[in-house]
Amino acid sequence: MAPITTRKRFIRSRSRLNRESGPSVPIRSNETRDMTTDQATRQLPSKHIQNHFTYSWKIRSFNELVNFYPNTGFVLSDRFWSPRPPLTNDLSTKNKQNDHPYLWRIKLYPNGVNEAAKTHISLYLVAIPTPYEKQTNITSREKTFKLEVFRLTSDSTPVLIRNETFTMKFEFDGLDDFGRHRFCSFESLFPNNDVTAEIDLLIRVQILNTTSTSDLIDKPVENNEAEFPSFKRHLDDGKFSDVEFTFDCGARIKAHRIILATRSTYFEKLLGDKWKEGQMKTIPIKRMEYNTFRSILYFLYTGKLEDSLGFDILKDVYSKADMLNLERFGEMVADRIADMVNNDNWDEILMLAWEVGDSRLKEAALYYAVTKWDTIRDGENMKRVMCCGNMDWIEELMRARYSIS
């Protein structure tokens, strides 16, 4: 197999477990209500070409939400519509897709999506499938968007606290929301870090129109992607299989070239006619453990991450996700690892995060370290971090330690 390439930094989304675990309580704001798709107020697209669409969500007395909602509890904005980009720059041409704009909402966790984020707000944009998308079997939506958080002054002047731009593919049967677990801290929101202080927030999302072909045209698929998990029954099933992978431990696993090549550009190249493996019916895997490889195949066949994977396997899987060009898979694994931080592995996760530049893992491990400082300060894990030889890493740990204390 090809050598492992340089790992890249993933933009993290939350796992489905985290996204569905938080209780939803009606927000105490006269600007927010929960509506069905049919009840949502439709915002028709402009007659002119625009570079972006903006939706603003004003939250009065945000401090009350912080004191009222538990960690993992969330609130939802109104549903709102944004126009599809025109298929052509010719304004005289009728754009049929503009009759069917996109549907969204914002999800906010006032006290964070999980324990590691409880001193921050967690913020996400949620893609909601429209009747048009359901009827035409459109199962995903790729968009560039910007999330912004402002604190409002006494005269309602917005003061920008943080913004970030994402380019993401929303999957209606999978990862349908994207954002940040720790979008901005209470320290940056509240004067003197006093969460009882009265503040009003303005949350704004800009849906950006891009010029790529894939963004301009939503192509219906022949089969609804909701049927994709049915491929699970073909995993390691000799029926219809046309390739077999072997491992040093003696294990074997059968697979189907068309499934692997369709779901991964790496396997498309590996099983093509340019590499010798493309002509082989049995391919030996030399630099990957059987359990790691099988978990990758499980994702390719089902679009999901197995529930029973241990920490050591997840670490190995995470290191292979970039090599296989499986960014969404890497995001799932990183979320799972971040939720597993404990007294035994915080140092491994922290040094892995430093090595690959993963802010999601780093934030989770640093938060654990500084909140459990008295317990871990004299342990073997701390000694390993202090002996890593990278002063920048060590200094960052110490800054985090004293910034919270």
Please tell me whether residues 105 and 149 are part of one structural domain.
yes
One pLDDT digit (tens) per residue for the chain, 405 residues:
544 444 443 434 443 334 433 444 433 333 333 322 232 333 333 333 356 789 999 999 999 999 999 988 899 999 999 987 654 444 444 444 455 789 999 999 999 988 878 889 999 999 999 988 888 888 888 889 999 999 998 888 899 999 988 888 888 877 788 888 889 999 899 988 888 999 999 999 999 875 443 333 343 333 334 434 446 666 766 677 888 999 988 899 898 888 888 888 888 888 887 778 878 889 998 888 999 999 998 888 888 888 888 999 999 999 888 778 787 888 889 888 988 899 999 999 999 888 888 877 888 888 899 889 999 999 999 999 999 889 999 998 998 888 754
Q: Is residue 213 part of a domain?
A: no
Q: Which domain holds residue 289?
A: 229-340
- The amino acid present at 364, given as its one-letter code, is A
Of 340, 364, 379, which marks where a domain is finished?
A: 340
State how far the Cα of 236 lies from the Cα of 330, in Å rounded to an integer: 22
Following DSSP, what letter does each residue of 220-257 receive, concatenated? PPSS-GGGGGGGGGGTT--TT--EEEEETTS-EEEE-H
Domain containing residue 329: CATH number: 3.30.710.10
CB 114 within 8 A of CB 361: no
Structure tokens at 389: 């030889």
- Of the chain, the end-to-end C-alpha distance in Å amounts to 48
The total domain count for the chain is 3
18 in a structural domain: no
Last residue of a domain, one of 315, 340, 365: 340
Q: From CA 336, how far away is CA 348, in angstroms rounded?
A: 14
Can you give the CATH number for the domain in which 151 is found?
2.60.210.10
Of the three residues 148, 176, 208, the one that is the final residue of a domain is: 208
399 in a structural domain: yes
Q: Which of 205, 108, 109 is nearest to 148 (CA)?
A: 205
The structure's pTM equals 0.48
Task: Spell 217-247 as b/e; 16+ CB within 10 A means b.
Answer: ebeeeeeebeebeebeebbeeeeebebbbeb
Take residue 335 and report the two structure tokens written for it: 């979320």
- Residue 215 included in any domain: no
Q: Looking at the structure, tell me whether residues 189 and 314 fall in a common domain.
A: no
Q: Is residue 314 part of a domain?
A: yes
User: Is residue 200 located within the same domain as residue 72?
Assistant: yes
271 and 335 share one domain: yes
Closest CA to 141 of 165, 164, 172: 172
Predicted pLDDT at 62 = 95
* 258 lies in the same domain as 380: no
Could you tell me if residue 16 is inside a domain? Answer: no
CB 164 within 8 A of CB 146: yes
Tokens describing residue 393:
């890493």
CA distances (Å), origin 343, targets 164, 208, 281, 340, 389 = 32, 42, 45, 10, 22
CA distance 133 to 172: 10
Q: Is 112 part of a structural domain of the chain? A: yes
Examine the domain organization and report whether 282 and 348 are in the same domain. Answer: no
DSSP 3-state of 359 = helix
> 373 and 286 in one domain?
no
Tell me which residue of 251, 254, 256, 253 sits closest to 231, measured CA to CA: 256
Same structural domain, 137 and 149: yes
Q: What is the pLDDT of residue 26?
A: 39
Q: How many CA atoms lie within 13 A of 234 on its CB side?
A: 19
Residue 9 domain-assigned?
no
Q: For residues 313 and 321, what is the distance between their CA atoms, to the nearest angstrom?
A: 12
Do 106 and 189 have their domain in common? yes
* CA dist., res. 253 & res. 297, Å (int): 10
Residue 12: helix, strand or coil by DSSP?
Answer: coil
In terms of domains, do 319 and 381 share one? no
> Is residue 66 located within the same domain as residue 173?
yes
> Does 81 share its domain with 152?
yes
